[in-house]
């Protein structure tokens, strides 16, 4: 069962949503801290006013007279009394609460609040009952009165009487409510602006990533299964910047496309080589098979002993040719598969000497020279296969150079390697053929070749043997000088 994705699916929407959520959280935290700070500040100011008002009330009681609000204070003139005969305290602000409560059990209580008009309003019994439960303390506190609302009060014990002074908290609460309202409004505006800016900025910043995705889509539409694909699409060079994350993605993507192209091109080339290899091998095997079939049919029709002997001789020669070709193909297949060769101590000096002596017997119309070190040079390898390599090189020189050509075989020790070189002063290899000289079934051109024999596997097989020894076989050629170099590690 596939789970449904929660939230927006696109990266742009997710990033913008993240920015909006962060801005909202920051706004809430800042608003809460600001509200708390302003509330504490306003409460401290109210406590200072309360302390002053409480001091004035205690001062009036200490003088033994009922202090009253003076002229200009917005209240009645001196000597007036409020309802119930309560004193009016001089200098107190409107909304100030005053109460007197006997601390003895069953003591009487009285209290009043200064109205905006300056008149005194007596406290209800419920309000007085709420005040009676307050113990004298030097710290202001907040109390909720049933009929008068929330007050910030200060209570002192004066000769067994609890003197209470209070100021309403309406101004603080109103200011805080107004502040919260503005904070909510500004926070919403900030979140909306942040969301719009985030979407615009994120889209702009992710535009290069969209171009990378578009390149990937174009590549995905390319048919990579058949034929050579050539050069696929690439991320534009202006986006390839290792200093940014998108640039690193673009660089890695372009590099990956290069590797894919190289791999696919190599695969296509390998497939073509396999097809060509099969075609060439079939062609090479078809010729001796046709010859064998022809002589077999001839021997069946002609019972002459001499003709039969000649036919069998030709059949045997063609069978030997097929056997040699098949053995070379099998050896190439084993080397391609990474099959290990024998590993013994091989005297390269003696091996080259023996190969040259054999070449002198078969190539009597060539001059054969040797350049060998005074001390024997040895490597670790397969002696039979190395002998085959040197023999192939000497046979190649015999077949593809005219009579009288000088062929120089040399052995040289280098740091970390032994070099076996075969150099001739023949006409050289055609420059157009030189890059393919080590490809399978590649034959020399007519200018070098004196014979049509050979399947074109000798040099390919020789290089494969050299590389199976962790070495290599290379060639350089120009008119008058062709040199093959077999390098073997020591």
pLDDT digits (tens, 9 = 90+) for 417-426: 999 999 999 9
pLDDT for the residue numbered 84: 38
Q: Do residues 342 and 312 lie in contact, with contact meaning Cβ atoms separated by under 8 Å?
A: no
Q: How far is CA 205 from CA 21, 202, 440, in A?
A: 20, 5, 54
Pairwise CA distance, residues 57 & 14, whole Å: 63
- Please list the residues that pair with 476 across neighbouring strands: 483
Over range 96-101, report the average pLDDT: 90
pLDDT for the residue numbered 1: 45
| Helices 458-468 and 305-336, axial angle in degrees (round to 10) | 40
- The set of residues, in sequence order, having a beta carbon less than 8 Å from that of 312 and lying 6+ positions away, is 295, 299
Per-residue confidence at 473, pLDDT binned at 50, 70, 90? Answer: very high
Is the pLDDT higher at 85 or at 425? 425
Per-residue confidence at 261, pLDDT binned at 50, 70, 90? Answer: confident
Q: E strand or H helix at 272, and its extent?
A: helix 245-301
pLDDT for the residue numbered 158: 86
pLDDT for the residue numbered 305: 79
Does the structure show a pLDDT above 60 at 479? yes
Over range 161-177, report the average pLDDT: 91
Does the structure show a pLDDT above 90 at 103? no
pLDDT for the residue numbered 78: 36
Q: Do residues 448 and 426 lie in contact, with contact meaning Cβ atoms separated by under 8 Å?
A: yes
Q: What is the pLDDT of residues 355-411, one digit of tens each?
A: 999 999 988 999 999 999 989 999 999 999 999 999 999 998 998 899 999 999 999
- The full DSSP string for 36-81 is HHHHHHHHHHHHHHHHHHHHHHHHHHHTTS---PPTTTTSPPTT--
Does the structure show a pLDDT above 60 at 451? no
Average pLDDT score, the chain: 81
Pairwise CA distance, residues 408 & 401, whole Å: 13
Does the structure show a pLDDT above 50 at 72? no
Does the structure show a pLDDT above 60 at 227? no
Per-residue confidence at 301, pLDDT binned at 50, 70, 90? Answer: confident
Per-residue confidence at 5, pLDDT binned at 50, 70, 90? Answer: low
pLDDT for the residue numbered 113: 92
Q: How far is CA 249 from CA 161, 215, 233, in A?
A: 82, 12, 15
Does the structure show a pLDDT above 50 at 446? no
Residue 278's Cβ-count burial label (10 Å; 0-12, 13-18, 19+) is exposed
Report the percentage of the chain scoring pLDDT > 90: 33
Q: What is the pLDDT of residues 315-331, one digit of tens each?
A: 888 888 788 778 877 88
pLDDT for the residue numbered 274: 72
Pairwise CA distance, residues 135 & 216, whole Å: 79
Sheet holding 417-424, edge to edge: 367-371, 406-414, 417-424, 481-489, 472-478
Does the structure show a pLDDT above 80 at 55? yes
pLDDT for the residue numbered 230: 60
């Amino acid at each position: 069962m596939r789970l449904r994705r929660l939230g927006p699916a696109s990266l742009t929407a997710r990033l913008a949503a993240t920015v909006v959520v962060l801005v909202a959280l920051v706004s809430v935290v800042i608003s809460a801290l600001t509200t708390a700070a302003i509330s504490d500040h306003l409460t401290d100011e109210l406590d200072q006013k309360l302390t002053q008002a409480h001091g004035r009330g205690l001062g009036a009681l200490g003088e033994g007279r009922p202090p009253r609000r003076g002229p200009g204070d917005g209240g009645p003139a001196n000597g007036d009394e409020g309802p119930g005969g309560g004193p009016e305290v001089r200098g107190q602000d409107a909304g100030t609460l005053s109460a007197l409560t006997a601390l003895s059990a069953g003591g009487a209580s009285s209290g009043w609040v200064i109205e905006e008009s300056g008149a005194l309003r007596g406290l209800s019994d419920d309000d007085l009952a709420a005040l009676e439960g307050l113990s004298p303390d030097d710290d202001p506190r907040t109390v909720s009165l049933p009929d008068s609302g929330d007050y910030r009060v200060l209570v002192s014990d004066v000769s067994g009487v609890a003197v209470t002074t209070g100021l309403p908290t309406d101004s603080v609460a109103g200011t805080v409510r107004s502040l919260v309202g503005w904070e909510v409004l500004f926070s919403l505006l900030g979140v909306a602006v942040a969301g719009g800016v985030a979407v615009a900025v994120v889209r702009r910043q992710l535009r290069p990533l969209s171009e990378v995705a578009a390149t990937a889509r174009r590549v995905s539409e390319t048919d990579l299964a058949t034929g050579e694909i050539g050069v696929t699409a690439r991320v534009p060079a202006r986006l390839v910047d290792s200093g940014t994350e998108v640039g690193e993605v673009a660089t890695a993507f372009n590099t990956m496309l290069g590797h894919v192209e190289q791999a696919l091109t190599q695969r296509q080339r390998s497939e073509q080589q396999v097809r060509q290899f099969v075609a060439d091998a079939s062609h090479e095997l078809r010729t001796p098979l046709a010859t064998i079939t022809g002589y077999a049919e001839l021997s069946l029709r002609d019972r002459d002993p001499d003709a039969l002997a000649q036919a069998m001789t030709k059949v045997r020669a063609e069978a030997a040719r097929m056997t040699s070709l098949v053995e070379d193909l099998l050896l190439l297949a084993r080397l391609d598969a990474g099959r290990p060769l024998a590993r013994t101590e091989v005297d390269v000096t003696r091996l080259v000497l023996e190969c040259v002596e054999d070449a002198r017997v078969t190539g009597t119309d060539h001059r054969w020279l040797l350049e060998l070190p005074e001390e024997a040079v040895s490597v670790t390898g397969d002696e039979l296969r190395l002998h085959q390599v040197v023999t192939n090189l000497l046979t190649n020189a015999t077949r593809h150079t005219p009579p009288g050509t000088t062929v120089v075989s040399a052995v040289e020790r280098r740091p970390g390697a032994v070099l076996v070189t075969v150099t001739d002063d023949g006409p050289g290899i055609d420059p157009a053929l030189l890059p393919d000289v080590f490809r399978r079934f590649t034959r020399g051109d007519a200018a070098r070749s004196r014979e049509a024999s050979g399947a074109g596997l000798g040099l390919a097989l020789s290089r494969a043997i050299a590389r199976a020894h962790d070495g290599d076989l290379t060639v350089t050629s120009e008119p008058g000088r062709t040199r093959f170099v077999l390098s073997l590690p020591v």
